């Protein structure tokens, strides 16, 4: 049996809020600024779409090749590592379609899922492996790439979520969770941590054991979706205020 960790001579543990953690976040911010500036420089909508597609395909390629690597070298294969049913990896496959088609329907759903989920994931990563492990690369490049694609749609396509988007996103999130519950029951997996909590400390620990922490996750989801909607709600109020029209 070949273990992925044996491929590397030294694999440090990942530590939250370490220099490595902050460097990854800085790389994500810099990359996002670069692609947004490049997109806004384009004169035609087709060129903007091409730039959006290219930058969104980078994390897809990262996920595909690292997943293929894991499928070859990790025996027996851990299905949670190679199937794209964790919500971030599923969104990773949708965002190129959203950006290429300029689909507001996909944007309003993925905006809440990505912003609500990725921000929490990047601030409190459920990650054991440090740099340069392939799982470390995949986690950060995909999650940072998701935020990058969403910000590209906001600043280059001028997409903005609405409160109606909020309701639709929460509905589709729960539909997806029901689908994944079926996948977990069929395959004996733990996608979305719906079968048990992560092995590392997370906010879910505040809500007790299964199944109660799932109700807590619903509350966290609503709270996070509300938080990521507030900047747009406040900006719309400012635009409609008398002072802004003077």
Torsion over CA: 200, 203, 205, 211 (sign): negative
Q: Note whether residue 236 is domain-resident.
A: no
Q: Note whether residue 7 is domain-resident.
A: no
Q: Note whether residue 66 is domain-resident.
A: yes
Q: Note whether residue 81 is domain-resident.
A: yes
Give the whole-angstrom CA distance, residue 73 versus residue 13: 20
pLDDT at 29: 97
Q: Note whether residue 238 is domain-resident.
A: no
pLDDT at 246: 36
pLDDT at 3: 53
Kindly report the number of other CB atoms within 10 A of residue 114's CB atom. Answer: 27
Using DSSP, state whether 80 is helix, strand or coil: helix
pLDDT at 127: 84
Q: Which two tokens stand for residue 216?
A: 């807590």
pLDDT at 199: 77
Q: Note whether residue 239 is domain-resident.
A: no
Question: In the chain, how many H helices and how many E strands?
Answer: 9, 0
**Could you tell me which residues are beta bridge partners of residue 13?**
129
Using DSSP, state whether 44 is helix, strand or coil: coil
Q: Which two tokens stand for residue 195?
A: 């079968």
Q: Using 70 as the pLDDT threshold, list the residues of the chain that sit under it.
A: 1-10, 236-246
DSSP 156: T
pLDDT per residue over 177-199, tens digit each?
999 999 999 999 999 989 988 77
Q: How many CA atoms lie within 13 A of 229 on its CB side?
A: 21
Give the whole-angstrom CA distance, residue 10 versus residue 132: 9
**Residues 6 or more apart whose Cβ sits within 8 Å of residue 143:** 88, 118, 121, 122
In terms of residue numbers, what domain contains 141? 13-231
Q: pTM for the full model?
A: 0.87
Q: Note whether residue 8 is domain-resident.
A: no
Q: Note whether residue 244 is domain-resident.
A: no
Name the domain count of the chain.
1
Give the whole-angstrom CA distance, residue 148 versus residue 145: 5
């Amino acid at each position: 049996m070949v273990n992925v960790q044996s491929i590397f001579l030294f694999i440090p543990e990942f530590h939250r809020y370490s220099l490595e953690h902050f460097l990854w976040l800085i790389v994500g911010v810099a990359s996002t600024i670069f692609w947004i500036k490049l997109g806004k420089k384009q004169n035609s909508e087709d060129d903007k779409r091409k730039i959006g597609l290219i930058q969104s395909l980078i994390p897809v390629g990262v996920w595909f090749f690292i997943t293929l690597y894991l499928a070859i070298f990790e025996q027996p294969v851990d299905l949670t590592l190679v199937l794209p049913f964790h919500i971030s990896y599923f969104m990773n496959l949708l965002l190129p379609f959203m950006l290429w088609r300029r689909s507001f329907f996909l944007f309003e759903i993925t905006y809440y899922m990505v912003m609500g989920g990725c921000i929490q994931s990047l601030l409190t990563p459920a990650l054991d492996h440090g740099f340069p492990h392939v799982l470390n690369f995949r986690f950060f490049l995909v999650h940072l790439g998701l935020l990058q694609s969403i910000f590209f749609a906001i600043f280059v396509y001028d997409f903005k979520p609405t409160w109606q988007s909020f309701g639709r996103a929460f509905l589709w999130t729960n539909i997806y969770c029901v689908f994944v519950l079926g996948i977990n029951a069929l395959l004996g997996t733990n996608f979305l941590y719906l079968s048990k909590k992560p092995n590392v400390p997370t906010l879910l620990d505040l809500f007790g054991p299964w199944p109660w922490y799932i109700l807590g996750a619903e509350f966290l989801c609503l709270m996070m979706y509300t938080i990521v909607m507030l900047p747009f709600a406040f900006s719309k109020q400012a635009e409609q205020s008398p002072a802004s029209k003077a």
